[in-house]
Copies of this chain bind each other. A is one copy, B any other.
């Protein structure tokens, strides 16, 4: 058994029971962004969170134990994603990557925006010309230091 098999079981159960991510997030008392990433096999569950998942998805004890093991992360089957929605994000990195780099460096100096001390919030933005997806990303700035 490995984490992927547990993720497949969770997804299969979610479809069969027609559950929603937003409702699951409330069950866990976490944001829908963290909850979804965790159930998709990218985050690590605490003991209490694993117990909750065990109950919601009818997991065995061993399956619940796997949720508390840090997974090998990376959710995409190819280096350049083929799915159109996910590709648009890859395209943003491709087209605007050097722009993002220049503007963060101009404001903060040399360093990075953390993808670990990081959070994300996805919302519907009502717009008369067609609703928009608004995503707020927040990552701690980590400076390079000379030593």
Contacts and interface: CB of A to CB of B under 8 A. Distances in A.
A146 B43 contact: yes
Interface range on chain A (Cβ under 8 Å from partner): 35 or more
Contacts of A133: 104, 107-108, 113, 137-141
B134 A65 contact: no
A41 B32 CA distance: 27
A56 interface: no
Contact of A103 (B84, B94, B111, B122): B122
A92 B140 contact: no
A54 interface: no
Contacts of A86: 93, 97-98, 100-101
Copies assembled: 10
Contact of A40 (B66, B94, B99, B138): B99
A138 B125 contact: yes
Contact of A92 (B62, B115, B130, B131): B115
Contact of A104 (B44, B69, B122, B143): B122
Interface of A: 1-2, 8, 11-12, 15-16, 18, 20-22, 30-34, 36-38, 40, 42-44, 46, 49, 61-62, 65-66, 69-70, 72-120, 122, 124-125, 127, 129-147
